[in-house]
Chain A
Amino acid sequence: MENLISDLIREFSLFQQIGYVPTAAVVMFGCALLVLNFFGLMSGLYTYLERKVAGWTNSRRGPNRVGPYGLLQFMADGVKLILKEDIIPAAADRNIFKFAPYLLLLGTALSFVVIPFGPKWIISDLNIGVLYLLATGSFTVVGLILAGWASNNKWALLGGMRSAAQIVSYEIPNALAILVVVLPAGTMSMQGIIRAQGGGAHHWFLFNSPFSFFAFFIYFVSAIAEINRVPFDIPEAESELVAGYNIEYSAMRFGAFFAAEFGNIYVISAVAVTCFLGGWQLPLPVAVDDLGTLGHGLGHFLSRTDVLMLLLLAALLVAFLAWKALRAFVWDVRRKRPFFGSRFVRFHSELLVLGLLFTGGALTLALHLPLRIHLPAIYRLIFQYLVPFVVFFTKAMFLSFVVLWWRWTLPRLRVDQLMGVCWKYLIPLGFFCLVGQGFWMWLFT
């Protein structure tokens, strides 16, 4: 964001005239607008995805009536929630009751400040990014307790108390697991952690040492517990507490709780991707920072014939896939199938994606030959903005899918089991991993 402000002031005389502070205000507002919209859209999409995954695991189809593939279902739900009556119980503490859901939303929205979207796309690359994330994560517990207390309902209060116990406990293994990553990275900034990993799956911190491998799972489990997802959702355990902390809420305030919860899924997936899965780094052994600049990377240790053979193989594969897809397409056209739901889309989209991946791989290899090709600026833009974003987003969506998958697989833990998992297993293992990682680095670097 600072770079953007200085760039704007340097490039445009309008911003030069209005000065630094107004420019900063404009940029802040714009960034907030973008990120909050992204947050809202993501939480909406997660409600859709959640219902879809629920359907699939139950052999159902899930929502498929509103919009193509039912994708607009979340908008219909949102409109419904906004139009509903907002009831505040007579005995509730009105101001706190009204304020609590927004506090929860605030915590989630603040987390998006340090989540990277690409090597140059981040609102603010704080040098204490990870610490900041842990701090904003704790907003949740304040919001939940306030909601539970202000509702003046015993179930809500119990839910709030449980959430306090749970989140405070699970923050410890969460922080420990992230520290395991901070050790080899040597920095707490999100972009710094990603840059420390480099391209290629074997450079990711997941495979840095056996300890960081276990730390990934510790982080993931404790993060799921921290955002109150199943199987750790005892604050809203409907079999015991009716609905937990949000029992008295209705209309969009109720929706705000869920927006925050679903937004949090993206936050934890993004943090896991950043810390353990290489962020926006490609799984190919090519550093994203080098993409678009020539003469770096694999070209140094792959000969030209190797690359040509690889390209030939990729071309053959792509030709085969294209042939199959073309046949399916002809099949569709002959039978006048609609495009969505046609055989082409249903059975060959994954093949097309594979083909694209292979072409992409071959292209990156070719780009890193010391060949002295001059790329137009648009390719540099694509490589520096679009490709990293797609890579990051794909990884994050995969982890989010695992979160949703767990929700429809695992039963809810009892309170004592929950505390047992945290204090008896995750925290000791977290400390073990932290110390082990230290020894590992002492031994091997």
Chain B
Amino acid sequence: MKLFDGVKGYFVNIYESVTTISMGMWITFKTAFFERKVTLQYPSHDILEGKSKDASLPTQEIPNPPFESLLGAGQQNYKGPLNTQLPERYRGLLGYDEPSCISCLLCAQNCPIEVIRVKGVKVEGRKGKAPTTFRIDYSKCMFCGLCVEVCPTDAIFFTRQFEGATFEFRTLIREFIGPELCLERLQLAEEVKKKAIEEKEVKKKSEEKESNTA
């Protein structure tokens, strides 16, 4: 009886290996030829817009063809199951809105790796301080979002841009305020300072006069 079981097991093994292998082969065959491709062909697919860059035509005519573009040439609108667009709150490269910045330095102070460098001066007709330097070193940034969270005026924020590759390091350091604007601001600030000094002197003189008269 034991011998019989062994012999039976031998043939059961053969049978099972044949059937399971053919089942597996059928599964991969189905996947290979009858399922939608999930590949998002990134450089020719605009992830920000969620549509193909060079597909000039809508391809709604054929709902689910077998052997659908097996070789994968020719860019079409994406039909697979993936989300083709980047999420709205995607943490891309940092963006900066100059007019709303008040140079409070909160972002620079909160940054754990000193990515951001801010300098500001007081000028007339602007709330807070006007920035004269705003520099972000993208090569260091780790997209933690601390600066974005603390910014009281939403001047620093995440964009959805992520294509930051360059050939040189220095191109990754970005100045958001040009030298001309910086100079202008500094001159304005000088004027503000002069005015302040003049006012002080005027005050002093008037105080002196008052004391003298007193």
A residues neighboring B (CB under 8 Å): 52-53, 55-62, 64, 68-70, 335, 337-338, 340-342, 346-347, 350, 405-406, 408-410, 424-425
Asked whether any CB of chain A lies closer than 8 Å to the CB of B85, the reply is: no
Contacts of A425 in B (CB 8 A): 13-14
Q: Mark B62-89, 1 if CB is under 8 A from A, else 0.
A: 1001011111111100001000000000
Which of A52, A60, A341, A424 meets B74, CB within 8 Å?
A: A341
Say yes or no: A408 contacts B73, CB within 8 Å. Answer: no
CB proximity of B31 to chain A, nearest CB, Å = 6
Say yes or no: A347 contacts B28, CB within 8 Å. Answer: no
Interface contacts beyond A58-B31, A60-B38, A409-B25: sample of 16 additional A-B pairs, CB < 8 Å, sorted by A: A59-B35, A59-B39, A61-B39, A61-B41, A61-B69, A64-B71, A64-B72, A69-B72, A70-B73, A341-B74, A341-B75, A406-B25, A408-B28, A410-B24, A425-B13, A425-B14
Residue from B14, B33, B36, B72 having most chain A Cβ neighbours under 10 A: B72
Contacts of A59 in B (CB 8 A): 31, 35-39, 80
Which of B14, B25, B39 meets A60, CB within 8 Å?
A: B39
In the assembly, what is the distance between CA of A53 and CA of B28, in Å?
A: 10
Asked whether any CB of chain A lies closer than 8 Å to the CB of B162, the reply is: no
Top 3 nearest A-B pairs by Cβ distance? Answer: A341-B74, A61-B72, A56-B32
Which of B62, B71, B75 meets A69, CB within 8 Å?
A: B71
Asked whether any CB of chain A lies closer than 8 Å to the CB of B57, the reply is: yes
Q: List 11 A-B contacts (CB under 8 A).
A: A56-B32, A59-B31, A59-B36, A61-B37, A61-B72, A337-B57, A350-B67, A405-B25, A408-B28, A409-B24, A425-B14
Contacts of A61 in B (CB 8 A): 37, 39, 41, 69, 72
CB proximity of A70 to chain B, nearest CB, Å = 7
Residue from B13, B29, B38, B39 having most chain A Cβ neighbours under 10 A: B39
Contacts of A338 in B (CB 8 A): 74
In the assembly, what is the distance between CA of A409 and CA of B71, in Å?
A: 20
Contacts of B21 in A (CB 8 A): 409-410
In the assembly, what is the distance between CA of A61 and CA of B80, in Å?
A: 12
Near A by CB (< 8 A), chain B positions 16-68 give: 21, 24-25, 27-29, 31-33, 35-39, 41, 57, 62, 65, 67-68
Say yes or no: A341 contacts B14, CB within 8 Å. Answer: no
Say yes or no: B36 contacts A340, CB within 8 Å. Answer: no
Contacts of B13 in A (CB 8 A): 425
Which of B14, B28, B70 meets A409, CB within 8 Å?
A: B28
CB proximity of B167 to chain A, nearest CB, Å = 20
Contacts of B36 in A (CB 8 A): 59
Say yes or no: B31 contacts A56, CB within 8 Å. Answer: yes
CB proximity of A68 to chain B, nearest CB, Å = 6
Contacts of B70 in A (CB 8 A): 56
Contacts of B31 in A (CB 8 A): 56-59
In the assembly, what is the distance between CA of A235 and CA of B71, in Å?
A: 32
In the assembly, what is the distance between CA of A60 and CA of B32, in Å?
A: 9
Closest residue of chain A to B33, judged by CB? Answer: A56
Closest residue of chain B to A342, judged by CB? Answer: B74
Contacts of B69 in A (CB 8 A): 61, 341, 346
Which of B25, B37, B73, B80 meets A341, CB within 8 Å?
A: B73
CB proximity of B29 to chain A, nearest CB, Å = 7
Say yes or no: A405 contacts B29, CB within 8 Å. Answer: yes
Contacts of A340 in B (CB 8 A): 71, 73-74
Closest residue of chain A to B23, judged by CB? Answer: A409
Closest residue of chain B to A58, judged by CB? Answer: B31
Residue from B38, B41, B57, B73 having most chain A Cβ neighbours under 10 A: B73
In the assembly, what is the distance between CA of A347 and CA of B24, in Å?
A: 27
Closest residue of chain A to B30, judged by CB? Answer: A57
Contacts of B67 in A (CB 8 A): 346-347, 350
CB proximity of A376 to chain B, nearest CB, Å = 36
In the assembly, what is the distance between CA of A323 and CA of B125, in Å?
A: 76
Contacts of A62 in B (CB 8 A): 72
CB proximity of A404 to chain B, nearest CB, Å = 10
In the assembly, what is the distance between CA of A341 and CA of B68, in Å?
A: 10
CB proximity of B116 to chain A, nearest CB, Å = 38
Closest residue of chain B to A53, judged by CB? Answer: B32
CB proximity of A399 to chain B, nearest CB, Å = 14
Contacts of A53 in B (CB 8 A): 32
CB proximity of A64 to chain B, nearest CB, Å = 4
CB proximity of B32 to chain A, nearest CB, Å = 4
In the assembly, what is the distance between CA of A69 and CA of B70, in Å?
A: 9
Closest residue of chain A to B69, judged by CB? Answer: A346
In the assembly, what is the distance between CA of A52 and CA of B21, in Å?
A: 21
Contacts of A70 in B (CB 8 A): 71-73
Contacts of B62 in A (CB 8 A): 347
CB proximity of B39 to chain A, nearest CB, Å = 4
CB proximity of A217 to chain B, nearest CB, Å = 9
